[in-house]
Structure 1
């Protein structure tokens, strides 16, 4: 796809089939050895199901209404999330399984981590102070455990090669921005700069740690226009996007772009692609009808103003034409939006993935 303004016909083609099951993860046709996923609820496929006391869960209806067997899996979506579609483009069945599930749910081969794992946790942040779930730092510690397991199963040389050719996908930062906004509704420039610098410093440490563990191919998903989600809109008396949240997202995204460029020039063999969920969502909001959408403000599932004042709970109502809604719930995209984002980030133009798209990163064998 050259740009996201291409035909929207893929919105209406579901990839669900009767033979798909929750923990199947077929990597035989994959274009990379493994996919390792880190981040928040935008990438979580069920890790939080296993966290006692976590309030950031989605393992109940109406979530998953369009997932195979209409099963709520822990994804904050009516079906697949963005990571699922990116994994599909890489040749996998969908996202690797949640790390916390692998004890007795899937094959021994996957349990060893040689085909990948998803460590993402809804509510988590780049900063340790954000949320009460599995922070990015803890997720990397989990990966270190899997790396040790791989090394024990194969030679150190083979483990190093496998990890260096695998994709490390990170989708994080949104919860950190929300947490900062909660404490600073109208921050001044000094406060914003200090926050962004602190966030980027932590991100730098995480990327360096993954690199030291053998990661070389990084797929970074930037932060979307948070202020345009149904929940922030519900806070605005005018019902428009909350500019401060969008400005914070843009500042962070810009800083991450500079960071990745700098690190790749210093760390031998490091390659990356930044998928712009910010531009993907902005493009949908600007061109809804051309892309098959009829509703870009109100969530499909929820309650209150814009269906953005509570989550998609079992007693909430949900729309029937979900493929025409940008948002599934108060903060998360629909299956259709995730599918569109997957195409744009995997094989789109520089507007949606830079300095190369994910497909180019996957196919780079140098």
Structure 2
């Protein structure tokens, strides 16, 4: 029998994950870690931006967003249903992903104050740099918000108990894409030296945020890298030939390598730090190369939007909406569909080293 071409192996591995994901039970409600704390941008936001004021704030709390969410309601997720964070939480045994911080900040929640339910700090439009985005919550502010939560947990259950529960909890980070977009908007034809200098500074700042969380008690870091953002419907709509924008994809690859190397270095120098880098980049590349094998029919056009590739504007109530949403890679001009997020979460949680390294999220969660 002929050998399987090496280039097809990622798709076969991903197909195996699809089969396993379909057979996997839903979240039982008893998480495999005490809590999940989420930091990032619109890839992870579950509604924080709903609570921010200003017309420039990116939001998704209106139709057609949420059309496939339970009760078909928009929640602030940039998706037709769940996002990747939701599916990762389900894989970890939770019934649902943690609530947005701004929804619970002024409420007394005994489980949150005991460190038994996590919080989601992610804000659409945010970045690693404070200057990325307007009127949103940058990563530095998200870390400050967690410091408030950590202080309240320590006050309620003692510092020692707080250290124990936080060291076993998962700190999930999904960010960086907006910083790369912002750089590209300022300089669409950067030199190799300019790209390297920007990425090095960005990764250094990312490291500082990880170190700050470590000081606050974090030990398990689940990092999601940046997908090939140059192939999203919006960049494609800006290309005269409708092709991917190579500079954006180069930036994503450079940033991903920098973060992977940085996390490895931190694990060697910071006692007890454990990590996994889940590759949304590898998942999306596999889908784009072998869409039909993985159940997709359209990997270039957004399901919801307008203009070329439905990428000229976001998913609004007046936008064009596709019927076969499960066959689309992209939901809107920049974000994946419910189906894509489900597949990505399964690959990152249960998959091979191609999709998560040096261990997958399941191994990280179960490592005591």
Change (3 A) 1:307 1:15: farther
Residue-by-residue CA offset, 1:255-285 (whole Å, 9 max, x unaligned): 1111011110000000000000000000000
Q: Which residue in 2 is equivalent to 1:37?
A: 38
1:321 to 304, 320, 324: 324
Question: Structure 2 stretches of 5 or more lacking a match?
Answer: 1-9
1:237 to partner: Cα distance: 1.2
1:200 to 168, 186, 203: 203
TM-score (norm 1): 0.93
SS of equivalent residue, structure 1 residue 59: coil
Kindly indicate whether residue 58 of structure 2 is the aligned counterpart of residue 48 of structure 1: no
Q: Judge conservation of contact 1:7–1:291 (CA < 8 Å) in 2.
A: no
Kindly indicate whether residue 76 of structure 2 is the aligned counterpart of residue 74 of structure 1: yes
Return the structure number with greater helix share. Answer: 2
1:222 to 214, 225, 248: 225
| Aligned-partner Cα distance in 2 for 1:208–1:106 | 28
Change (3 A) 1:116 1:103: same
TM-score (norm 2): 0.93
Q: Judge conservation of contact 1:102–1:111 (CA < 8 Å) in 2.
A: no
SS of equivalent residue, structure 1 residue 6: helix
SS of equivalent residue, structure 1 residue 37: strand
Q: Judge conservation of contact 2:300–2:329 (CA < 8 Å) in 1.
A: yes
Q: Judge conservation of contact 2:28–2:94 (CA < 8 Å) in 1.
A: yes
Alignment of 1:181-330 (within 5 A): 181-330=184-333
1:111 to partner: Cα distance: 5.9
Q: Judge conservation of contact 1:323–1:336 (CA < 8 Å) in 2.
A: yes
Q: Judge conservation of contact 2:113–2:156 (CA < 8 Å) in 1.
A: no
SS of equivalent residue, structure 1 residue 293: coil
| Aligned-partner Cα distance in 2 for 1:359–1:11 | 13
Kindly indicate whether residue 178 of structure 2 is the aligned counterpart of residue 168 of structure 1: no
Change (3 A) 1:7 1:101: closer
Q: Judge conservation of contact 2:114–2:157 (CA < 8 Å) in 1.
A: no
Change (3 A) 1:52 1:10: farther
| Aligned-partner Cα distance in 2 for 1:101–1:112 | 18
| Aligned-partner Cα distance in 2 for 1:67–1:332 | 15
| Aligned-partner Cα distance in 2 for 1:357–1:12 | 19
Residue-by-residue CA offset, 1:69-109 (whole Å, 9 max, x unaligned): 00100000000000000011111112100000014678442
| Aligned-partner Cα distance in 2 for 1:161–1:229 | 41
| Aligned-partner Cα distance in 1 for 2:38–2:364 | 16
Change (3 A) 1:107 1:69: farther
| Aligned-partner Cα distance in 1 for 2:66–2:281 | 24
| Aligned-partner Cα distance in 1 for 2:25–2:323 | 18
| Aligned-partner Cα distance in 1 for 2:111–2:274 | 27
Change (3 A) 1:250 1:221: same
| Aligned-partner Cα distance in 2 for 1:216–1:134 | 23
Number of residue pairs matched by the alignment: 356
| Aligned-partner Cα distance in 2 for 1:267–1:329 | 39
Change (3 A) 1:65 1:9: farther
After TM superposition, the runs of 4+ consecutive aligned structure 1 residues lying more than 6 A away are 10-16
Change (3 A) 1:118 1:270: same
| Aligned-partner Cα distance in 2 for 1:336–1:61 | 18
1:113 to partner: Cα distance: 5.0
| Aligned-partner Cα distance in 1 for 2:28–2:169 | 12
Q: Judge conservation of contact 1:97–1:117 (CA < 8 Å) in 2.
A: yes
Q: Judge conservation of contact 2:276–2:364 (CA < 8 Å) in 1.
A: yes
Change (3 A) 1:74 1:164: same
Change (3 A) 1:6 1:251: same
Say what the alpha-carbon RMSD is for the aligned residues: 2.0
SS of equivalent residue, structure 2 residue 39: strand
